[in-house]
Amino acid sequence: MMDPSWILYVGIFLGPFVQEDAAVIAAATLSAADPNHFPYIFGIILTGLFLSDIWKYWIGRAAHTSSRARAYAEREHVMEFRGKVRRNLIMTLMTARFVPLARIPVYVACGYFKVSYLRFCIVIFATALLYCTVIFALCHGLGELFGDRIEMIILPLGGLMIGIALIMVWIRRARKKN
């Protein structure tokens, strides 16, 4: 009989393609609940996270086929932003990794600004590795502290993170209106 955990592993791998933060937190929580699966879960979520991020670069590159997008890119403030992203790529991608709602626009911008794809992939892998390590360490640490009650802690914590992200979006939109 086949081990049914492969279905769970497929779900963990595909999770970042749907919602990265929730997938990583769920994988880390599963890993904390059953540490025997830690190396597999960690490797699978890291691979899924990496692959779910690197294709977004090509959306930006594909935008060069649009004359409208090229005209937008030639504006002075966009060219200035391009220089900043290219000069500070590591910090830009590190910040995007840990700031909710920043990843997709930054990854697409990297493709649009024709950042080296190899360099982009290396930095994305490093930030994904750091992010997974931090989330897994937090979940495993909380699991050690709270034991079986970890589910009661993670759910409100996840809700708090979503609430903070929504408040940040609301504040940003309110500032743009003024």
d(CA 107, CA 9): 26
Q: Rounded distance, CA 7 to CA 9, Å? A: 5
Please check the confidence at residue 11 and state whether its pLDDT lies above 80: yes
pLDDT at res. 154: 66
- Rounded CA-CA distance 11/112 in Å is 31
pTM beyond 0.95: the answer is no
Q: Which residue has the tokens 């840990």?
A: 98
- Average pLDDT of the chain to the nearest whole number: 83
* Model pLDDT for residues 55-81, shown as the tens digit of each residue: 999 988 888 787 777 777 677 777 777
* Residue 1 to residues 5, 12, 159, Cα–Cα distance (Å): 12, 22, 39
Tens digits of residue pLDDT in 18-43: 888 888 988 988 888 777 888 889 99
How far does Cα 138 stand from its chain's mean position?
17
